[in-house]
Amino acid sequence: MNVHIAPSILSADFAKLGEEVRAVAEHGADAIHIDVMDGHFVPNLTFGAPIVAALRRVTTLPLDVHLMIEQPERYLEQFVEAGADMLTVHVETCPHLHRTVQAIHALGVRAGVALNPHTPFELIREVLPDVERVLIMTVNPGFGGQRLIPRTLGKVAQIRAAIAALDQPIELGVDGGVDRETIADLARSGADVFVAGSAIFGAAEGIAEAMAALRAAARRGHQAG
């Protein structure tokens, strides 16, 4: 299994965002994870399409946009126009999830579906064959730097088994509280995409060492899984 590491810019220094993105790109980031929050679906506000457009100008890495917003279908087109390569929407915000996934694909980008910690796999089972990624929230979304909720690991294993049964190359991501301590267990449970904010941008040892340590621990987890 691949180890795909997507640094979340939520924990970056916004005053020097371009430099921060270049630094993680240089040290092997597989994508840049951009957390869009609307102050309604989640209790925090972050940024919109103009930041995606600005980052598009400083990196060739895939821009992985995580939409923690109500009625995400209203904004899909503007994020794609700004340069997003993948749009992930929350099942909790999409009463017509299949339609929203189709709309994302019609715009020519990859589609992901995210689940909050309390949301059961059953709610996305029917749409699983239609998405490129499932993103399991391992914290309640809204803020960086929270501790992982251990019970979410069971859902990682459950969805990995469902993906294996489908025999499709669907990515299984985890987002929230991913750090040197938790990443091996997440990998062992079946995750292959790791979103990490504070463990990378807030690392005392620096970005290079933090990313290398995360990748090594995730590989160990995959070997043990």
Q: Which residues bind ligand DX5 (CB under 6 A)?
A: 8, 10-11, 33, 35, 66, 139, 141-146, 175-178, 195-199
Active site residue 179: no
The structure tokens listed for 54 are 């600005």
- In the complex, minimum distance from the CB of residue 116 to Zn ion, in angstroms, rounded to a whole number: 12
Q: Which helix (H) or strand (E) holds 212?
A: helix 207-224
- In the complex, minimum distance from the CB of residue 202 to ligand DX5, in angstroms, rounded to a whole number: 7
Burial class (CB in 10 A: 0-12, 13-18, 19+), 125: exposed
Q: Which is nearer to ligand DX5, 54 or 149 (CB)?
A: 149
- In the complex, minimum distance from the CB of residue 195 to Zn ion, in angstroms, rounded to a whole number: 5
Which of ligand DX5, Zn ion, none sits in contact with 176, Cβ below 5 to 8 A by type?
ligand DX5
**What are the residues binding Zn ion (CB under 5 A)?**
35, 66, 175
Q: Which is nearer to ligand DX5, 10 or 82 (CB)?
A: 10
CB atoms within 10 A of CB 95: 9
- In the complex, minimum distance from the CB of residue 50 to ligand DX5, in angstroms, rounded to a whole number: 19
β-bridge mates for residue 110, sequence order: 86
Annotated catalytic residue, options 30, 35, 38, 179: 35
Distance of CA 134 to the CA centre of its chain: 9
Q: Which is nearer to Zn ion, 112 or 165 (CB)?
A: 112
Annotated catalytic residue, options 30, 38, 175, 179: 175
Active site residue 185: no
Which of Zn ion, ligand DX5, none sits in contact with 196, Cβ below 5 to 8 A by type?
ligand DX5
Q: Which is nearer to ligand DX5, 37 or 165 (CB)?
A: 37
Q: Which is nearer to ligand DX5, 165 or 204 (CB)?
A: 204
Q: Are 174 and 191 in contact (CB under 8 A)?
A: yes
Q: How far apart are CA 14 and CA 132, in angstroms?
A: 29
Q: Residue with the closest Cβ to Zn ion?
A: 66
- In the complex, minimum distance from the CB of residue 115 to Zn ion, in angstroms, rounded to a whole number: 12
Q: Phi first, then psi: what are they for 168, rounded to 5°?
A: -120, 150
Active site members: 35, 175
